[in-house]
Structure 1
Amino acid sequence: MPPFLRPGALLLAAAVCTAGQAAEPYPQRPVTLIVPTAAAGGTDTIARLMADALGKQLGQPFVVENKPGANGVLGVEAGARAAPDGYRLLFTYAASVVVNPGLYRKLPYDPVKDLAPIAQIGRGGNLLLVRPDFPARTLDEFVREVKAHPGKYSYCSWGAGSGGHLAMESLKKQAGIDMLHVPYKGTSPCVQDLAGRQVDAAFGDTSSTIELVKAGRVRALANSGPKRLPMLPDVPTMTEAGYPFTTYSWYGLLAPARTPPEIIERLNAAVQKALVDPEVVRRMRELNFDDLPQTTPAQFGAVIRQDLQDWRGLIRSINLSLD
C-alpha cells in the first residue's frame, strides 16, 4: 500500500480535517431565536430587530420562532431544552425568567441551572396609566383618590402574575390602597378597555401604549423604569414620585446550559455591537427602550439572580401563587 494510503496516514488526515471543521467560526448555518410570546407584541418586535442586527454582525440569518403559552413557560422550556450548540437560543422578556419561579412551585426549567446568560438587551419599565377622565393627574393625586374610595376602582393587567399585575400590587402595598384586579389575556385588550373606560387604571408596556398616551386616549401618571422616557419627558419615574420601584423589565438573550463559552462570548460581542449601532438605537428609542446597558454574560447573570430574589420577595409578600 502506498504510504499516503496507509491506515495511520488516513487517520491523521481525518483528524486534521475534523480539527479544521471544529475551528470554523460560529455560526455556520441559520440560528433560531425562540420567543415565548405571540407575534407582533413588544417582545417579538424587539426580537426581530435584534435578529436582523445579529444576522448582519455574524453573517448568518437569525430567525424568530414564536412559541407562546403558559405565561412564557413553554417558550423558555424549549430554549432550555435545546441542544447546547448555539443554533437554538432564547430571546425573552424578564418575567418569564425571573418572575415565574416565584409564581409556580414546579417549573420544567431552572433559570439559573438550565440557561446560560448571553446579554441583557435594554432596561425599562411600564407606564402607570389611567382612563382619560380619571380624577387624578399625578401619582400622589391617584393614591389620594383611590385611598379615599377603597374598592371603588379597578385595574387591569395582561394576566395574573404578569409584570403589570405585580407592579400594581407593589404600588398598592407601598401606598396602602385597595383596587380590584381584572386580569386579561393580553396587553392590548386590557389597554383598549382602559381607553374605553371599562376599567380605571393599568400598568402597560411603553412600546404598545405610547401612541394611546400621545392621542389622549389614556393618561400616563408615572413610569416604573429607572429614568424618564425621552418621548414622555414630563412623566416622572415612580421613584421620583415617592414610590420606589427598582426591579425593572428587560429583554435578554440566553442559551441552553453547557453551550460552549466561546459561542457565548461571540454572541455577547455581537449584541454589544448591535446595541451601539445607530439604526438599532434609533428603533429602540422609538419603542421607548433607550436604556441600553452593555453587559457581559457574568453581569447579566448577576442581574437575573438579583431579580429572582427581589421578585420572590414581592410575590411572597402578597401571597400569590399560580399553582
Structure 2
Amino acid sequence: MTENLPIFNKNQMTGAKSASYLKYILQRFCLVNEIDQTQDIGIDFSATILNNNRPTKLNFYIQCKRTDNPGIYLDSGKENFCYSIATSTLNYWIQKQDVTFIFLVDLPNQNIYWANPLEQVQKTKLINQKSVSIKIPLNQIINSNTKNTPDDIQFNIYKHYSNFSSAVIMNLEKFESEIENGRQSFNEQQLDTIISNLSKHHKEVERKFIEVSDKLKRRLEYDFKKAMYYAIKIDQMDEIKHQYCPKGIFLTEFSNKVNNHRYSIESLYGLIDTSSNCDLDILYTLCKIVHEFMIDILFFYRELAYEDSPFTSHADIEKEISKLKL
C-alpha cells in the first residue's frame, strides 16, 4: 500500500540542485548562508567574501534562478538573459544595506551568470511599474574555473556602499520635514545623537574620498612613468627600432596615445584639485586605461628585447611582469 507522503517533483529537484551548485561555487571564496524560505522575499542566500579564508566586510544577498525558469529568455542578440522582477521586490532590495545579485544557474553546462539589478534600475522610476526587465549578461560568468571573487562583483559591492550618502541626505530631509511640521519622531537628545552620527560619517566619507583619489592619482603617475620608461628603452634598441619603427617609437601612433593619456591625466588632475565632487568612476576608468597601456608597452618591450638579444638574461623584465596582476 502506497503511503500518503509529500512528493518532491522534478522542478523542485532541479531547483535544489541549482541552489546547491551555486553554493558549491561561491563557497570557494565566500561564506554562504541560506535564508529561511518560510516567506518568499526574493532572497535565497546571504554571503560574505573571504580574504585568505577570513571574512571581510563585503557582504551581499543572492537570488538564485535557473536559466530554464519560466519567464527567463535570451534577448535577440543572444548576449543577455532577460528576467522581469516585481517592483515590490526591487524596492525591498533597494532599502537593504547590502547589494542583491541575481545568479542564473545553467546546470547542463555548469555555468552561472550574474547581474546587479539595482544598478540597472538606478535611473528608472519604479512608482508606476509592476515589474522591470533585468538583463543578465552572458559574459558575466562564474563556474568551476572561478577560484577567487571576480573583481566586477567586488566593484559592484563597493559601488553599492558608495550610494549611502544619498541615504544620509534622505534621513536629513526627513528630520528637516518633521521639525518644520512639528512632528518629531525623536526627542531633542535623540535627534542630536543621530545628526552627530550623520555628520561624523559625512566627514569620514569626505576623508576617504580624498584618500582614494590620492591613491588613484599616484597609481596613474606610476603607470604612466613606467610606460614612458619602457618606451624609451625600446627607442634605444637601434636595430629593432629601425625594423619596426624607423623614425622612432615616439613618431608612431604610439605618440598619439601618449599625448591623449597625458592630456586626460592633466585635465583630470585639474578637476580633482579644484573640486571635491570629482567623479571617482572617471578617475578609476582612466587608471585602468593607463595601466593596460603600460602593460601593452611592457610586453612589447619584452618581445623586442628577446628578439634583439635572445641569449641574454632579461630577468629585470620578467621581474616587472611577475609584479603585474593579469
With the length of structure 2 as denominator, give the TM-score of the two structures.
0.24
Which protein, 1 or 2, shows the higher relative CO under an 8 Å CA cutoff with sep ≥ 6? 1
When you count helix as a share of all residues, which structure comes out higher? 2
Bigger radius of gyration? 2
